[in-house]
Amino acid sequence: MKKDSKNQRKIGGKTKNQKKPEDETRINITTIVDVAHSLIPIIEKKLVEVKWKNVFLQLFFKNKLLKISTFVIACVLFFYVESQDLVESNFSIPLDMKITNDLTVANEVPSNITVYLRGAKNSLFALDVNKMHAEIVIQEDNHGEYKYRPVLKNIPEDIKILRISPQNIDITLSSVQRKLLNIEPELVGVPHPDYYLVRYSISPRRLWVTGPNEILDDTTSLKTEPISIEGQRSNKEIKVKLNRSTHPLINVDAKREFSIFLYLRSRFLKERYTENLEIKASLENQDLYIENRDLLVVTNLEYELLSEYAENFEPQEEFSFYLNTSEITGPGEYQLPVVFEKIRKARVKTYSPVTLPIVVRSLTAGDKQPVLQGSSNPSSPK
């Protein structure tokens, strides 16, 4: 009976000594870790004993020819596959027009168009953009408005044309007219403030041109390229060309030069005044006086006068000369510069005397032996 009961316990349930699956897994992991720890010192010892220099030498230099050949073949294959990749790119190319009949284009047409291409990378890189262009051939007999699609030239066969922009070009055809137009200089800026432009001459003054009827009917002159006269002080001769941007549809010689001569004149007239002008001089100290006042005059005055004031200008009324006596403190002889007050109407150039000796006396001390004093530096009048 005891034996049966023991068997029943084994069949019906777990015995006390039976282990769970989780415990067995934990034991296995612990065993693996312990084995790894025991192997680490052995591996480290072996790595130290290995002669790495020989390993690397064998790796790089054993069968050198085979390895170099393999590397070269791999590079060639890489660049070949890379070059065969299809890529897209766009280019700006010139647009040429050919007109077979006696007509001309009366509207502005783009000088370049954009072409979008697809092809192998090496083929696109090898394209000579300078040889590619687009072309429109006009064979119409009557004037009017037309639409043309540019034809691409010198595009290799292995390059695919995706699209062009613009796809169509609007062109207005007109009869050709020949007309004689005046040439006008395009002057920019102003001369120096002391000068003004009197006139200009241009040679040739007129030019025969051709162009569409619609444009030449309303055109009487052509402008030159801009000519700067900023700060100009003298006459000047200039060679210029026409400004094509103002009338691009009028046919002219782009290399034709025009000679322009600018005549400038000074705003000032050179004048001379030979009569005496008084030199003003006053002393702050009322006990002092200037003994030689008869010498206080200016002669031989040369000046430049603005031309607009020439008719009513009176030098004796407009010019003021004076001595700066602020540093005179007592009797004596002084050498003082003669100065003048600037005016807008005229500019003083030369005069005499430039400096003047004066003798200063005292009213209270009587005549004393003059003492030579240094000359003073005058200040501008207030």
Average pLDDT over residues 164-181: 92
pLDDT confidence bin for 44, thresholds 50/70/90: low
Nearest to 367 by CA among 260, 255, 289, 259: 289
Least confident window among 18-22, 39-43, 82-86: 18-22
- Whether the per-residue pLDDT at 14 is higher than 80: the answer is no
Q: How many domains does the chain have?
A: 3
Tell me: do 274 and 351 sit in the same domain: yes
Tell me: do 200 and 168 sit in the same domain: no
Residue 77 counted as domain residue: no
Classify burial at 198, counting beta carbons within 10 Å of its beta carbon; exposed 0-12, middle 13-18, buried 19 or more: exposed
CATH of the domain at 205: 2.170.120.40
Residue 289 counted as domain residue: yes
Tell me: do 186 and 249 sit in the same domain: yes
Q: In terms of pTM, does the model score above 0.75?
A: no
Strand duo 133-138 + 86-99: pairing: parallel
CA diameter of the chain: 172
| Cβ–Cβ < 8 Å for 381, 322 | yes
pLDDT at 244: 87
Tell me: do 90 and 169 sit in the same domain: yes
- Read off the tokens for 2: 């005891």
Q: How many CB atoms lie within 10 A of CB 219?
A: 15
Residue finishing a domain among 232, 266, 300: 266
Residue 223 counted as domain residue: yes
Tell me: do 165 and 184 sit in the same domain: no
CA distance 43 to 299: 117
- Whether the per-residue pLDDT at 329 is higher than 90: the answer is no
CA distance 366 to 288: 11
Residue 261 counted as domain residue: yes
Residue 380 counted as domain residue: no
Tell me: do 163 and 191 sit in the same domain: no
Residue 64 counted as domain residue: no
Residue finishing a domain among 129, 154, 174: 174
Tell me: do 217 and 277 sit in the same domain: no
Q: What are phi and psi of 59, to 5 degrees?
A: -65, -40
Average pLDDT over residues 344-366: 88
Residue 59 counted as domain residue: no
Q: What are phi and psi of 375, to 5 degrees?
A: -75, 150
Tell me: do 325 and 298 sit in the same domain: yes
Tell me: do 169 and 192 sit in the same domain: no
Average pLDDT over residues 97-110: 87
Positive or negative torsion for Cα 232, 236, 239, 243: positive
Tell me: do 127 and 201 sit in the same domain: no
| Cβ–Cβ < 8 Å for 124, 87 | yes
pLDDT tens for 18-28 read 445 455 555 56
CA distances from 205 to 98, 242, 370 (A): 32, 12, 75
Tell me: do 95 and 162 sit in the same domain: yes
Containing structural domain, residue 241: 180-266
Contacts of 343 (CB under 8 A, 6+ apart): 318, 319
Nearest to 230 by CA among 186, 260, 192: 192
CA distance 344 to 6: 140
Nearest to 161 by CA among 126, 199, 201, 134: 134
Residue finishing a domain among 235, 266, 297: 266
pLDDT at 121: 78
Tell me: do 99 and 136 sit in the same domain: yes
CATH of the domain at 139: 2.170.120.30
Percent of the chain with pLDDT over 90: 47
Residue 156 counted as domain residue: yes
Nearest to 301 by CA among 272, 260, 323, 325: 272
